[in-house]
Amino acid sequence: MKKKQEKDDRRTPGTSVVAKTDKGVMAGKMEKIISLCKRRGFVFPSSEIYGGFGAVYDYGPYGTELVNNIKTAWWKAMVRENDNIVGLDSAIFMHPKVWEASGHTAGFSDPLIECRKCHARLRVDHILEEAGVFADEKMSEEEINKLLEENKDKIECAKCNCKDFTKAKKFNLLVKSNLGNFTGNWEENPVYLRGETCQGIYINFKNVLDSTRVKVPFGIAQIGKSFRNEITARQFIFRKREFEQMEMQMFVHPDDEMDHFEEWKEKRWQFYLDLGIKEENLKWHEHENLVFYAKAAWDIEYDFPFGFKELEGIHARGDYDLTQHSKFSGKDLSYQDPHTNEKYIPHVVEASAGADRTFLALLSEAYTEEEIEKENGEKELRVVLKFPKKLAPIKVAVFPLLKNKPDLVKKAKEIYDSLKSQFMCEFDDNGNVGKRYRRQDEIGTPYCITVDFDSLEDDTVTIRDRDTMKQERIKAGELEGFFNKNLG
Ligand code: GAP
């Protein structure tokens, strides 16, 4: 667990926040991304026909492909490329004691105030941040209320601009359910939806150890949904109430913890570069105010349109997690080295990433606007998602030049059918070819194939490259080899 500021917490509490970017320009980019996500089937607000549902989103057809490609890349980098990491898929529901042991029931909270006029509930650190004041996450309710009092002239309700608020209270972020409770008084003994996936890893440490051939140092990796009652819905899919984590916990000898930590810092940085993120858009943020058991905590931040924010946390967590679960469950979670017979509680190095934030970072990185000249000399704005080819939701789009020419449609369908099981393909015969290109550019499709009248004569097609917009002619029989070579 790690509750913290998602802003620059190297500042002293109570000091001014300096605006980093031209908010107008950056907000413009964010709005364009949100609009494209809806228009082109990447992300939809949940339950939209019922007016939406705060901070919950659905991935549309292209978003689903993209998020699956992100998760596959993460799984490959973790489980397939590291001989000593195995996978897990633990349940969302766990015994309520798990969250007592982890400290979530007591300490997983954000400070909240309510506007007395419009009753909007607001996160105190966010409202202070907007007023240029930094609040430390470790502050008690009393300290937060003092800071609010000192800055009462600067803060106002984001919804109605009123300055009259209730006192700040800490609000627990765990989401409760009535699973398995038929008594009606479930709120007294709730079962929680998991607030982070890694607790499922800790409670299965012994099972994995006993059922596989792993030896310390080894890691367990898991991708799955987590749930948090985030107070304010902000920044699109950056802060969701239902989101997906990609977490890996490495169990190591206490003496080796910091070596593993350094190794994983490097590996995780490289992961984002391998996803095509430009290094200048990434930075490290070291946590200075560590929780008592942690040895080190660093975040990889990405320069989102709203500024640098956390993508992933890498933490050296000591023996806290296994010790706590040993204590609360009464089960011995120590490890005995088969060679030396040394018995110890392994320490944990954690790499905890968010699939949704990686998705947003990739969209932000890929979103490009270019002014191009049409054949008639007019200028046009081309919107392209320049995803790395391996991550693009659709790899190849196949078009017949004209939809009312059965021979062209038939040949284009044959080509589409011959490629679709190997590459994620789309068949499109709507509108003219120019419009189809624009649409494929907006969803980031690296290659478009057009079947024209020459194709019927000489079995060649044109392939158009998304980034250069150049077209080349190629034999239909050579398409598979071309894509195997160029899609990476
Ligand atoms: N097990 C450690 C842990 O959960 P965290 O910093 O709270 O640490 C890890 O979460 C990652 O999960 C974050 O870096 C972020 O990518 C993602 N994440 C956390 N809260 C999120 C939210 N409300 N919406 C989307 N992603 C979130």
Q: For residue 85, what pLDDT is reported?
A: 98
108 CA to centre of ligand 1 in angstroms: 13
- 64: which residues sit within 8 A by CB, 6+ positions away? 393
Q: For residue 27, what pLDDT is reported?
A: 59
- Cβ(356) to ligand 1 under 6 A? yes
334 exposure class (CB count in 10 Å sphere: 0-12, 13-18, 19+): middle
71 secondary structure, DSSP code:
H
Write out the chain's pLDDT in tens, 488 residues.
554 434 333 233 333 332 333 444 555 999 999 999 999 999 999 999 999 999 999 999 999 999 999 999 999 999 999 999 999 999 999 999 999 999 999 989 999 999 999 988 888 888 888 888 888 777 888 889 999 999 988 898 888 988 899 999 999 999 999 999 888 888 888 999 999 999 999 999 999 999 999 999 999 999 999 999 998 877 999 999 999 999 999 999 999 999 999 999 999 999 999 999 999 999 999 998 899 999 999 999 999 999 999 999 999 999 999 999 999 999 999 999 999 999 999 999 999 999 999 999 999 999 999 999 988 899 999 999 999 999 999 999 999 999 999 999 999 999 999 999 999 999 999 999 999 999 999 999 999 999 999 999 999 999 999 999 999 999 999 999 999 999 97
Q: For residue 121, what pLDDT is reported?
A: 87
* Cα–Cα distance for residue pair 307/124, rounded to 1 Å: 20
357 CA to centre of ligand 1 in angstroms: 9
Q: For residue 133, what pLDDT is reported?
A: 87
Q: Is 200 helix (H, G, I), strand (E, B) or coil?
A: helix
- Cβ(2) to ligand 1 under 6 A? yes
- 352: which residues sit within 8 A by CB, 6+ positions away? 2, 196, 198, 245, 246, 247, 248, 312, 313, 314, 315
- Cβ(108) to ligand 1 under 6 A? no
| Bridge partners (DSSP) listed for residue 301 | 283, 310
390 secondary structure, DSSP code:
G
Q: For residue 18, what pLDDT is reported?
A: 29
Q: Are the folds of 2-98+176-362 and 394-486 the same?
A: no
| Contact (CB, 8 A) for 383 and 366 | no
Q: Do the strands 109-114 and 169-172 form a parallel or antiparallel pair, or are they unpaired?
A: antiparallel
Q: How many CB atoms lie within 10 A of CB 457?
A: 8
463 CA to centre of ligand 1 in angstroms: 41
60 CA to centre of ligand 1 in angstroms: 22
Atom of ligand 1 nearest to the CA of 247: 1
Residue (of 197, 160, 191, 159) closest to 178 by Cα position: 191
60 exposure class (CB count in 10 Å sphere: 0-12, 13-18, 19+): middle
Paired tokens of 119: 């009753």
Sequence ranges of the domains in the chain: 2-98+176-362, 109-172, 394-486
131 CA to centre of ligand 1 in angstroms: 25
55 backbone dihedrals φ, ψ, rounded to 5°: 60, 25
Tell me which of 243, 247, 290, 320 to substitute to probe ligand 1's pocket, judged by most ligand atoms within 8 Å of the beta carbon: 243
Task: Identify the residue whose C-alpha is closest to ligand 1 atom 7.
Answer: 2
159 secondary structure, DSSP code:
T
Q: Give how far the C-alpha of residue 310 lies from the chain's centroid of Cα atoms, to the nearest Å.
A: 10
Atom of ligand 1 nearest to the CA of 245: 12
380 CA to centre of ligand 1 in angstroms: 40
Tell me which of 98, 352, 358 to substitute to probe ligand 1's pocket, judged by most ligand atoms within 8 Å of the beta carbon: 352
Q: For residue 234, what pLDDT is reported?
A: 75
Q: For residue 25, what pLDDT is reported?
A: 52
Q: How many CB atoms lie within 10 A of CB 14?
A: 16
Q: For residue 232, what pLDDT is reported?
A: 81
Atom of ligand 1 nearest to the CA of 239: 24
* Cα–Cα distance for residue pair 460/257, rounded to 1 Å: 58
pLDDT, tens digit, for every residue of 117-158? 998 888 888 888 888 888 877 788 888 999 999 998 889 888
324 CA to centre of ligand 1 in angstroms: 21
Task: Identify the residue whose C-alpha is closest to ligand 1 atom 16.
Answer: 354
- Cβ(67) to ligand 1 under 6 A? no
Q: Do the strands 396-400 and 447-451 form a parallel or antiparallel pair, or are they unpaired?
A: parallel
Which CATH superfamily, name and number, covers 2-98+176-362? Answer: Bira Bifunctional Protein; Domain 2 (3.30.930.10)
Q: For residue 95, what pLDDT is reported?
A: 97
Task: Identify the residue whose C-alpha is closest to ligand 1 atom 14.
Answer: 312
- Cβ(228) to ligand 1 under 6 A? yes
In 65-172, beta strands by DSSP E: 85-88, 109-114, 121-123, 169-172
Domain 394-486 falls in which CATH fold? Rossmann fold (3.40.50)
Q: For residue 331, what pLDDT is reported?
A: 98
240 CA to centre of ligand 1 in angstroms: 10
Through-space distance between the first and last CA atoms of the chain, rounded to whole angstroms: 37
354 CA to centre of ligand 1 in angstroms: 6
Q: For residue 447, what pLDDT is reported?
A: 98
298 CA to centre of ligand 1 in angstroms: 13
- Cβ(285) to ligand 1 under 6 A? no
- Cβ(198) to ligand 1 under 6 A? yes
Paired tokens of 200: 């499922």
188 CA to centre of ligand 1 in angstroms: 27
Paired tokens of 456: 């019927």
